[in-house]
Every structure is written in C-alpha cells, then in structure tokens.
Amino acid sequence: MSKTNPGNFFEDFHVGQVIEHATPRTVTEGDRAAYGSLYPTRFAVPSSAAFAASVGLELHPVEELIGFHIAFGKTVPDVSLNAIANLGYAECRFHRPVVPGDTLSTRSEVIGLKQNSNGKSGVVYVRSTATNQRGEVAIDWARWVMVHKRVSTGSTTEGTAAPETVIPELATAVDAKNLIVPEGLDFSSYDFTAAGEPHRLADYEVGEKIDHVDGVTLTTSEHQQATRLWQNTAKVHFNVEARPDGRNLVYGGHIISLARALSFNGLANAQLIAAINAGAHTSPAFAGDTVYAWSEVLDRVDTDAPGVGALRLRLVATKGRDESMTLRGEDGKYAPGVLLDLDYWALIPA
Amino acid sequence: MSKTNPGNFFEDFHVGQVIEHATPRTVTEGDRAAYGSLYPTRFAVPSSAAFAASVGLELHPVEELIGFHIAFGKTVPDVSLNAIANLGYAECRFHRPVVPGDTLSTRSEVIGLKQNSNGKSGVVYVRSTATNQRGEVAIDWARWVMVHKRVSTGSTTEGTAAPETVIPELATAVDAKNLIVPEGLDFSSYDFTAAGEPHRLADYEVGEKIDHVDGVTLTTSEHQQATRLWQNTAKVHFNVEARPDGRNLVYGGHIISLARALSFNGLANAQLIAAINAGAHTSPAFAGDTVYAWSEVLDRVDTDAPGVGALRLRLVATKGRDESMTLRGEDGKYAPGVLLDLDYWALIPA
Amino acid sequence: MSKTNPGNFFEDFHVGQVIEHATPRTVTEGDRAAYGSLYPTRFAVPSSAAFAASVGLELHPVEELIGFHIAFGKTVPDVSLNAIANLGYAECRFHRPVVPGDTLSTRSEVIGLKQNSNGKSGVVYVRSTATNQRGEVAIDWARWVMVHKRVSTGSTTEGTAAPETVIPELATAVDAKNLIVPEGLDFSSYDFTAAGEPHRLADYEVGEKIDHVDGVTLTTSEHQQATRLWQNTAKVHFNVEARPDGRNLVYGGHIISLARALSFNGLANAQLIAAINAGAHTSPAFAGDTVYAWSEVLDRVDTDAPGVGALRLRLVATKGRDESMTLRGEDGKYAPGVLLDLDYWALIPA
C-alpha cells in the first residue's frame, strides 16, 4: 500500500465526519518579516509593537491573514488536494489575535455534500476551526470546494452512488453583533498620524468606492515563497509540470493578502480583520500579472469596545488597474480582470 | 475627496515644516534573517550574538542598513513619492545600535527649498530623524530630492510662485570627532580569526583601493522583497506598468546593501557603519545586472573607545567588474558602469 | 598585498592542519521562517513548538539541515572556494538539536590529501566540527573535495611536489550504535494524527521504495536566497558571469533540503535527521528544473530512547519524476535525471 497521501476524493467524505489536520505550526517573528517582504503591508498594529500596545494589545499580533493562511493551509492535504475549484468562504471569524509563539492546529467537520449531476465530482462543505496551543479558538470558517470523484481519475471504473444532498445554511455575512473585538482593544487614544491617515469610521459612507491606486507585478518566486510559508501543498502552485499550460497558478490567498496590503492606501485605519463574510476567486492569476485593488464600503457599525467601529468592505483585486471600479458587467458576470471579490469586516477607530 | 495619498508636490513643502511619518515599525530577528537571505553579508557583529557580546554589545544589533532602510522608507510616501531623482545624502549618523524589539519612527523637517528654473520642479532638502520606542535618536540624516510641482502633472494649469530659495549648509563629511561609537564597544580583545580577516586600522592606507572581487546578479524577486521589507512604497520598484520601459527599477538602497555586503571581502573588520557622509546613485540598476564593488580608503582616525578606530571609505558599486577601479572618466563624469558612490565611516579594530 | 580572500589551493593544505572558519552565526526564528518559505517542509517537530515539547524537546529545534548548511557554509571560503567538485560526505552526526539563539562556529582539520596524476589538482579530506556558543559539538562530518593547484590558475608556472598521499579511513555508514538521540526525546506518546501519517518504524521494510510524488520547479531567486542565508559564498551560485554558460548553478545543499522536504509525503514521521552517511551530487541543477524525490529503506533499528527507532534511508532527488525509482542504469552509472544520492539515518517512532 502506498505510504503517500493521495488526498481525499468526493467519495471519502460524509456529513458529520471530523478531520484533524496535520501538522501544527508555530507562528514566529520570522513569519512577520517574511510577510512584510512579500506584501506591501503597513498597517500600524501588526507593523509596530509600540503602536499595538498603545491600543491595548500587549502582545504584538501578526496580520490576521498570516493566521488564516496557516490555518487554511492545514486543510489542503485532506480537503482540497483533489479539488477542481475553491468555490467559496463564509462565516469566518477571528476569535483572538495570533501572536508569535502561538501554535495553530486545524480541525474540520464535513457539514454538507452535493454530488454533481455529471457523477464525476461533487461539492464538499466543511467548517474548519483553528485552535492555539491552549485549545482556544483562534479562527473558524466555512468553505466549500468542488472535488473529483475517484472514478474520474481512472483509478477505478466503478461509480458510487451519490450521498444524500446536504447543503448547510450559511450566513450571507457575519452579523455585526457577532463580531469579536480582541480583548483590551481600545481606539480612544488612537494616533492617526502614526497610522498614516486621518480617516475614521464616520468618514466612510456606505456605497463609497476607493481606488487604492498602487499596483504590484507578481513574480513566481514571491508567490511560491508565500504559499509555501503556509505549508500549502497544492502542486499547481509549485510545479510547472502539474498543469498542461506549464504555468504556476498563484494561490488565491496570495491575492487576498496582496489586495489587503494595497488597501492601506485609503484604508490605513482599517487595522484589524474581524471577519470574512464571503470570498470568490473569480479568475486565475499568474506571474507577470500586475495586481491592483479597490474597495467598496458595504456597511458601518459601532462596537461595544471603546472607540472601535467596524466597516464592512468589499475588497476587489484586479489584473490591471480599473479606475471605473466595475465589479460586474451588464450581463451580471464579473468584469474582465476581476481576480478576487472579498467581503469582510475590519475594525477601525470610530 | 480622495482618501488615498497622492504624495506631496514641491508646492506642499515650506522651510521649517515638520512631517511625522507613518507608520512605526518594529525590528525583529526575522528582519535579520531576511536581510541575510537577500545580501551576502557576513560581518561578525550582526552575524553572531556571541561575537557582538564579546565586543561589549550585550544586545545583538542588526546591520545599520536595516535601520537606515526602514527609517528612510518611512519618508518616501511624504517626501519622495513624486520625486524625479534622489539627489544626495549628508550628515547621516548612527546614534545607537538598532536591536530586535526596537520600534522605529521617523520625523522630517524641511530645511531647504530651491525651485528649478523650468518652473516645473524643485529641490527639497529635509533632515530626518528616526527614534526608537523610548524616544532616543537612532539615526539622523539630511537628504535632498528633486520633486515635481503639481502643475507638471497636468492636474492644474496654475503655476505657483517660487518660494524663497534656502540652501542649507551641509558638511561634506561627518567630522571624525563627531562620530558616535556605540556605548560599551570595546575592540581590545577582538577575535580576528572569527571575524574572517587579519587587517586592522593601521593596515589600511589612505588612497588604497580594494577590489572586492565577488559579483551578484540581481533578480526581480529579490530586490522587490528587500525593498518591500522596508515598507518603501515607491511604485517604480514593484509595478512594471509604472514605467514606460516596463522594467522594475531597483531601489538605490538595495545597491548600497549589496555593495556593503560584498565589501566584506577585504573589509571584514569594518564591522559597524558609524556615519554616511554622502551618497550618489549614479545610474539605475535592473534585474539581470551583475553588481560588483570596490572601496577606496579616504581617511583613518582613532576614537576614544578602547581599540576602536574609524575608516572613512568610498564604496563604489559597478555594473560589471571594473578591476581598474575607475570612479570618473577624464571628463570628470562618473565612469560607465558606476552605480553607486557612497562615502561613509566604519568602525574597525585599531 | 591583496586584502581579499583568494581561497586556498591544493598546495595550501597539509595533513593535521586546523582551520578556524569565520564567521560565527546565530540561528534565529527568522531562519525557521525563511526555511519554511523556501522548502515545502512540514515535519511536526521543527514546525511546532508544542509538538516538539510533547516529544520531550523543551527548546524548539530548527531543521537539522539549517544547522548543517550554516556549519557547512563556513567552510566554503577556506576549503572549497577553488574546488572543482564536492566529492563526498561521510560520518556526519547531529550531536544535539540546534535551537534559536545558538551561535555556530566551524573548525576543520585536514585529514587526508591526494594529488591527482595530472599535477593540476588534488583531493583534500577534512573533518569539520560545528560547535555552539557553549563549546558543545552540534554537528561534525567528513568531506572531500577536488581543489585546483595554484599552478593551474596561471598565477604561477612553478609546479610543486605532490604531498605524501594520505587517505583517511571513513565509515561507509555511521554505525547504528553510534547514533545520537537528542536528550529527552521520547516518542512513546507520539501523536501520529498531528504528525500527518500513521506509519511507524515497523511499517517500513528494508528494500522498500517510496515515490514522494510531489515536484517543485526551481527558481533563481529562491535558490540564491537559500544559499545566501547560509553565508555560502561560492560565486557560481550568485553570479551569471562566473560560469561560461551564464547560468547560476544551484547549491547542492538546496537539493538536499528540497528532497528532504518532499520526503514528508510518505516519511512524515522520520522527524529528525540523526546522521548523514554519504552523499553525492550526481548532476548539476538549474532554475527551471522540476525536482522530485524518492526514498529507499536501507536499514531499520531500535534505539535506547523510549519509543525511538531509526531508519536508514537513501534519499534520491531527480530532475523530472521517475516513477520507476531507478538509481543506476545497467552500466552501473547513475540514471539520467538523478541529482542527488543521499544516505542518512532518521529518527522515527518505533
């Protein structure tokens, strides 16, 4: 019997199944530096321990997306090694800041299954939970992916019956009242000059769009290093022989981090990601593409924490700059050039 | 009103103006590793905590240029986002070693202005000061850049009057008696074997030139990662769509760090940079260029610290190796291939 | 007299000579992150401080190969700067885990010499020892390299007499009873789920081969960054002008680390490298090559430590995937595509 991991196929999942993912990983100050070399991030909280302490965070958090990518990467070998497409995210919440020294482990539960009508693949819904070394929840989220059936690989000719279809109810967005503000966070003495922009919650109007202006041209080494850092093993990112076109596909999470970093220019005070409501990778990206970003304000609310508000934002990454900031064409489809459509909540001084 | 930062134009500066730059940034051991992966540095003090302790530095300093690039990077969005050229540095002193855990913030004061005769741009002189989280000065320096006037961008047709011309007096070089030796530094029991070379202060003659022999071919990913690590946002380094030639310009500081690292071979005991007297980026560099370096000894002095001398050095980076070590042609212009002409003081065992 | 290091030539070595290599280097958490961005490693012990503590290692070791590459890199300027070929390794033992904060220094003793019949080069055998800041041995190994004679460089026309030939006796493999298990290591409560695979010592049969399936395409930036991180100064890795073909040769150690990381898939529980018995870099590798790996089980033994066994493994890296896992052709020569043949001992739950 082979000792290597072939990944799970659609037939291997059943609703209620719990998967403990390998391997736990400790976050370090090295990850903060690596992240800073790969993404043009300047948000003051993860950039400066002194700034973080000044807003009540005695331990210096790393970017929320470092925790997310690590936690997510753990699920790849078990959930999406044989995926055809990553279809969506929902209900992702950041329960507490991840700080250097934290060790993250991820566990997933299968919460839904739907075989495709072609009999060759199906959609798997999982809820994943990342915990730290004290067993506290750091991040949880739901995700659904389209996965091959084993029969489609030619390794068997025997089709299997479709499982009962179960489609979980997932919220369109995390309700504002369920947002978690890190313990101790206090923006009442926030230093806007140090943070880089004067804009606070009330300065953003629902419906407002912000062109983040700057672009970054993707390189192979950089997207590979980033993806590898999260122990993401999907071979399409690292092996030019794994795709017919001989190109390395850029990990979707790389685009999320890049767009988030670019959004500093106009959203410098959207310091912390509290939740991800939804996300779609609408087009593949490759080395050589120049990525830009724009944002749309979807909602704004206060929280119970002192001086802390929350903005709901749509973050859109595009290949090439689109100053018109068009999400969809008249046909309702994503406009050409749109790479990412991410809906999230950020914490910002009220 | 746009929420993004368009950068300052020449009209936006006035003499005496103080700019507090965003965003503070904490230096970590991750920066030391990243620097070591990007530059072939082997100076024993920043390489080894044990060596640093053996010369009286209980906390392990990072390379001075890590501090410099971070401090400098902070000024880019406010001072040089609309720069045509970085014209020069002067009077840069390293006041105390930067160690992991330090958070650096930078503040600049405008100390001079001179509009160009074309009416479309001008030279801005700033003195910048980087302080740590205790408010102690870490590094300060003067710099002058040529910056567009707003009128040159076409965003307005209205020219503005030239400000009164103020050109600050800047020293040609930091006077040897003003050099700052880190507290506790003691080279009297210096381990030359561990450091890699036997040469001490007295072994270097004024006028002596040293060919550092080794070359490094630049790659896009590496110069981008380095520049991004310092939160430098100048788009010409990251975005091939930002220049008509579709090439990413290499950040001048990347060449400084590369040349300094290459200078180990012949100047292994020039452990610490005490001051930068002047610097000129004489030619642009691009991925694919192979960079070499040579040095010329400009001066040598003793200091009051035990066993510590100082060498004033000219560090020249070239595209392609120039064994003749020619700085300028007969016409007085920089020789073809010269990329950098940097004048600095280094501390070395006496 | 030139101040730069020309490296040693064959004439410069004599049996019994001891060389203290520059420069000591401190290992940090930044190195762990950099390693993780450059190699797809997921072994649970170096990945997770919590997992390491659960098997008795209170301080969190870095990958053994981080220590090896650093220790090895120190020897390059003195031993192999003028090498024609790195011929082999033997008797490499890891005496204690390297942890962040450790400073490594390397010392070599010349243990053998054999001039080649052409009179232009010779083989130098050295035994190198890396110690930490407390003077404890971390790693030691023997290595032999073919080095130019000075006469072959044209810098002299005077040949020198051949030294007496001394060929040291080196073990074909480290004897299982001489393997060193890190103090405190205890696999009796090993968490196979967290580690990623269920296979333990008894599940591996001598003679068994494992195809590790995954491949990684090499890029210039990544192999340069890795090699530079170890302060390896061999110019063929960094300078396209240093080789007639204008290509950067990939450091052999990069292939070792890559193959070791790929071997996770099938050998996830071979957590720690205890010894390297032999190693041959059988073919050069370049950016663009896609590297795969397979392993063969050579031996398996128990150790005195609780729950700890040892597997002797042949790790083979190939350019392009070879599902037949063929080491040598019928002519006894390495099969085309074989890049590395490494024989090592790994510690694994018994």
Contact across the interface for A228 and C33, Cβ inside 8 Å: no
CB A79 within 8 A of CB A145: yes
Contact across the interface for C193 and A100, Cβ inside 8 Å: no
In the numeric block, which tokens belong to residue B312?
A: 């004033």
Longest dimension (CA), chain C: 66
Least CB–CB distance from A196: residue in B2, B22, B219: B22
Least CB–CB distance from A3: residue in C31, C32, C199: C199
Cβ contacts (< 8 Å) between A30 and chain B: which residues?
28-30, 33
For chain B, where are the E strands, in sequence order? 18-20, 25-26, 83-94, 103-115, 121-131, 137-148, 209-211, 216-217, 272-281, 290-302, 308-319, 338-349
- Please report the sign of the dihedral spanned by the C-alpha atoms of residue B74, residue B78, residue B84, residue B90: negative
CB A203 within 8 A of CB A322: no
Q: Give per-10-residue mean pLDDT for chain C (350 aa).
A: 86 97 98 98 98 98 98 94 88 98 98 95 97 98 95 72 95 97 98 98 98 96 96 90 90 97 98 97 95 98 98 98 96 96 98
Distance CA A293, CA A311 (A): 17
CB A106 within 8 A of CB A74: yes
Distance CA C200, CA C90 (A): 27
Contact across the interface for C42 and A22, Cβ inside 8 Å: yes
pLDDT at position C158, please? 66
Q: Nearest Cα to B130, choosing from B48, B206, B231?
A: B231
Contact across the interface for A44 and B26, Cβ inside 8 Å: no
pLDDT at position B86, please? 86
Cβ contacts (< 8 Å) between C82 and chain B: which residues?
none
pLDDT at position A189, please? 97
Coil vs helix vs strand at B161 = coil
Q: Give the best residue of B20, B23, B228, B236 to mutate against chain A (max A CB count within 10 A).
A: B23
Q: Nearest Cα to A237, choosing from C318, C220, C38, C216?
A: C216
Torsion, Cα of C63, C69, C71, C75 (10° steps): 170
Residue type, A292: Y
Other C-beta atoms closer than 10 Å to the C-beta of A55 total 25
DSSP assignment string, C209-227? EEE----EE--HHHHHHHH
Q: State the nearest Cα–Cα gap between C206 and chain B, in angstroms.
A: 39
Cβ contacts (< 8 Å) between A29 and chain B: which residues?
28-30, 100
CB B240 within 8 A of CB B247: yes
Q: Give the best residue of A20, A23, A219, A245 to mutate against chain C (max C CB count within 10 A).
A: A23
Q: State the nearest Cα–Cα gap between A143 and chain B, in angstroms.
A: 31
ipTM score: 0.95
Contact across the interface for A103 and C50, Cβ inside 8 Å: yes
Distance CA B138, CA A69 (A): 35
Q: Give the best residue of A48, A221, A323 to mutate against chain B (max B CB count within 10 A).
A: A48
Encode pLDDT of B247-274 as tens digits: 999 999 999 999 999 999 999 999 999 9
pLDDT at position B11, please? 94
Cβ contacts (< 8 Å) between B251 and chain A: which residues?
none
Locate the chain A residue with the closest alpha carbon to B20. A193
> Which region, left, alpha or beta, applies to residue A154 given φ > 0 means left and ψ of -120 to 50 means alpha?
left
Locate the chain A residue with the closest alpha carbon to C35. A229
Distance CA A233, CA C39 (A): 11
Average pLDDT of chain B? Answer: 95
Coil vs helix vs strand at A270 = coil
Cβ contacts (< 8 Å) between B101 and chain A: which residues?
49
pLDDT bucket at A148, cuts 50 / 70 / 90: very high
Longest dimension (CA), chain A: 66
In the numeric block, which tokens belong to residue C246?
A: 């204008």
- Spell out which chain C residues touch chain B, with contact meaning CB-CB distance below 8 angstroms: 2-5, 20, 22-26, 28-31, 33-34, 77, 100-101, 103, 105, 133, 219-222, 224-226, 228-229, 231, 233, 235, 238-242, 248
pLDDT at position A7, please? 87
CA angle B202, C4, C68 (to 5 degrees): 115
CB B274 within 8 A of CB B347: yes
User: Where does residue C190 rank: exposed (0-12), middle (13-18), buried (19+ CB within 10 A)?
Assistant: buried
Per-residue burial over A59-85, b if 16 or more Cβ lie within 10 Å, else e, is ebbbbbbbbbbbbbbbbbbbbbbbbbe
Q: Give the best residue of C27, C28, C29 to mutate against chain A (max A CB count within 10 A).
A: C29
CA angle C83, C86, C89 (to 5 degrees): 140
Least CB–CB distance from A50: residue in B4, B103, B231: B103
Say whether pLDDT at A202 is over 90: yes
CB B110 within 8 A of CB B16: yes
Lowest mean pLDDT among A120-129, A181-190, C80-89: C80-89
Distance CA A311, CA A96 (A): 18
In the numeric block, which tokens belong to residue C340?
A: 């590395």
Residue type, A89: Y
DSSP assignment string, C159-224? --PPPPPB-----SS--GGG--PPTT---TT--HHHHT----GGGPPTT-EEE----EE--HHHHH
Q: State the nearest Cα–Cα gap between C240 and chain B, in angstroms.
A: 6
% of chain B surpassing 90 pLDDT: 89
Q: Nearest Cα to A263, choosing from A311, A307, A317, A301?
A: A317
What's the average model confidence in pLDDT over B279-302? 96
Distance CA A315, CA A277 (A): 11
Please tell me the total number of residues recorded for chain B in this structure: 350
Alpha-helical regions (H) of B94-247:
192-195, 220-229
Contact across the interface for A203 and B29, Cβ inside 8 Å: no
Whole-prediction pTM value? 0.96
Q: State the nearest Cα–Cα gap between C61 and chain B, in angstroms.
A: 16
pLDDT bucket at B226, cuts 50 / 70 / 90: very high
Q: State the nearest Cα–Cα gap between C248 and chain B, in angstroms.
A: 9
CB B248 within 8 A of CB B240: yes
pLDDT bucket at A157, cuts 50 / 70 / 90: low
Least CB–CB distance from A228: residue in C37, C193, C266: C37
Locate the chain B residue with the closest alpha carbon to C73. B42
CB A67 within 8 A of CB A289: no
Torsion, Cα of B347, B350, C1, C7 (10° steps): -60
Distance CA C285, CA B230 (A): 32
pLDDT at position B233, please? 84
Cβ contacts (< 8 Å) between A239 and chain C: which residues?
214-217, 290
Coil vs helix vs strand at A346 = strand
Q: Nearest Cα to B20, choosing from A211, A264, A198, A350?
A: A198
The one-character DSSP state at A13 is -
Distance CA B340, CA A335 (A): 45
Contact across the interface for A36 and B220, Cβ inside 8 Å: no
C-alpha C93 chain-centroid distance: 11
Encode pLDDT of B190-202 as tens digits: 999 999 999 999 9
Residue A340: in which H helix or E strand, if any?
strand A338-349
Contact across the interface for C221 and A219, Cβ inside 8 Å: yes
Number of H helices, E strands in chain C: 8, 12
In the numeric block, which tokens belong to residue B2?
A: 């746009």
CB neighbour list of residue C155: distance below 8 Å, 6 or more residues apart: none
DSSP assignment string, A225-248? HHHHHTT---GGGT-GGGSTT--P
CB A252 within 8 A of CB A259: no
Residue type, A285: A
Encode pLDDT of A231-245 as tens digits: 998 888 999 998 889
The one-character DSSP state at B79 is I
Cβ contacts (< 8 Å) between A224 and chain C: which residues?
219, 222
Other C-beta atoms closer than 10 Å to the C-beta of C116 total 15
Encode pLDDT of A32-90 as tens digits: 999 999 999 999 999 999 999 999 999 999 999 999 999 999 999 999 888 888 889 99
Cβ contacts (< 8 Å) between B203 and chain C: which residues?
3
Other C-beta atoms closer than 10 Å to the C-beta of A314 total 17
Q: Nearest Cα to B262, choosing from B304, B215, B296?
A: B215
Locate the chain A residue with the closest alpha carbon to B101. A49
Cis peptide before A23 (omega within 30 of 0): yes
Q: State the nearest Cα–Cα gap between C185 and chain B, in angstroms.
A: 28
pLDDT bucket at A129, cuts 50 / 70 / 90: very high
CB A173 within 8 A of CB A312: yes
What's the average model confidence in pLDDT over B305-328? 97
Coil vs helix vs strand at B122 = strand
Least CB–CB distance from B225: residue in A37, A214, A267: A37
CB A26 within 8 A of CB C45: no
Other C-beta atoms closer than 10 Å to the C-beta of B186 total 15
pLDDT bucket at B174, cuts 50 / 70 / 90: very high
Cβ contacts (< 8 Å) between A311 and chain B: which residues?
none
CB neighbour list of residue C35: distance below 8 Å, 6 or more residues apart: C41, C62, C63, C66, C229, C257
Least CB–CB distance from A194: residue in B22, B77, B224: B22
Per-residue burial over B286-310, b if 16 or more Cβ lie within 10 Å, else e, is ebebbbbbbbbbbebeebebebbbb
Cβ contacts (< 8 Å) between C211 and chain A: which residues?
4
Say whether pLDDT at B293 is over 70: yes
Torsion, Cα of B29, B34, B35, B41 (10° steps): 100
